[in-house]
Amino acid sequence: MRDLESENELLEDISARFDTDGWVQRERRVWVKVSKENLISMCKYLKETGFEHLSAISVTDWLKDGEFELTYHLWSYERKTLLTIKTRIDRENPIAPSVSPIWSRNAQVHEREMHEMFGVEFEGNDDLAPLFLEDWQGPPPFRKDFDWREYARKEYYNKDNEREAVYYE
């Protein structure tokens, strides 16, 4: 295994500029934490320094902390490094700035999915219409407190139907 010189260099550069926490996991994998306020300026800086490819945006629901964790997985074709940015937002008031002005339609459609599945609002995203779910009336389904078994029982089964009554036992 080679030494992690270029990964450490990248992490030092970002930490010095944005006063953040981070770690090098292994070769080509760097993780940094950033506050919601610094997210956009950090993303702008990273895009300029070669992180042109937004691989994915994901949300993790930390129910017991009362927070959503947004992760942005970025790949640089030049540095050949995957950088993950992590930022936490309040679960009760899930508003995050949109990165779609930076990564264009790519970010826009990822945010659209995360809006549908977790109910996170992305300020500045022009199109957060439903993507996968049709006529969905329930709460955002990927949240940890959404009990899909209970929801299906309530919405789709009939207690009086002999064959479906087993779901209520």
Partner 1 sequence: MNEQMALEPIGKNEYELFFGPAHPGSGNFSVKLKVDGERIISARADPGYLHRGFEKLMEYRLPIQNAVLSDRICIFEALNWNLIHAEAVDELMGIEIPERAKYIRVIMAELSRIQSHIIWYGVFSIGTGFDTGFKMAFGYRDYILDLFEMITGGRVYPTGYICPGGVRRDIPEGSEEKILGVLNKIDEMVKLEMMGNPALLSRVKDIGILKLSDAIRLGATGPVLRASGMKSDVRKNDPYEVYDRFDFEVPVSNEGDAYARYMIGIEEIKQSISIIKQALKELPDGDFVAKEFKKPKLNIKIPEGEVYVRNEISRGEAGMYMVSDGGTTPYRVKIRGPSFLHMIPVLEFLLRGSQIADVPAIYWSLNICPADLDR
Across-strand partners of 86?
Answer: 33, 71
Total residues at the site for partner 1 (CB under 8 A)? 35
DSSP 8-state assignment for residue 94: -
Q: What is the DSSP string of 19-68?
A: --EEEEEETTEEEEE--TTTHHHHHHHHHHTT--EEEEEEEEEEGGGTEE
H or E element, residue 149: helix 148-156
Does 104 sit near partner 1 (CB under 8 A)?
yes
Of the candidates 14, 32, 85, 103, which one interacts with partner 1 according to CB under 8 A? 103
Least distance from C-beta 166 to partner 1, angstroms? Answer: 20
Instruction: Choose the binding region for partner 1 from 5-13, 35-43, 53-61, 161-169 (rule: CB under 8 A).
Output: 53-61
> Which distant-in-sequence residues (6+ apart) come within 8 Å of 136 by Cβ?
130
Of the candidates 37, 92, 126, 134, which one interacts with partner 1 according to CB under 8 A? 134
Least distance from C-beta 164 to partner 1, angstroms? Answer: 21
Does 49 sit near partner 1 (CB under 8 A)?
no
Task: Yes or no: say if 129 and 112 are a contact pair by the CB < 8 Å rule.
Answer: yes
Judged by the rule CB under 8 A, the positions of this chain that interact with partner 1 are 25, 28-29, 31, 52-56, 58, 60-61, 71, 73, 75, 77, 80, 82, 84, 103-106, 108-110, 113, 117, 131-134, 141-142, 148
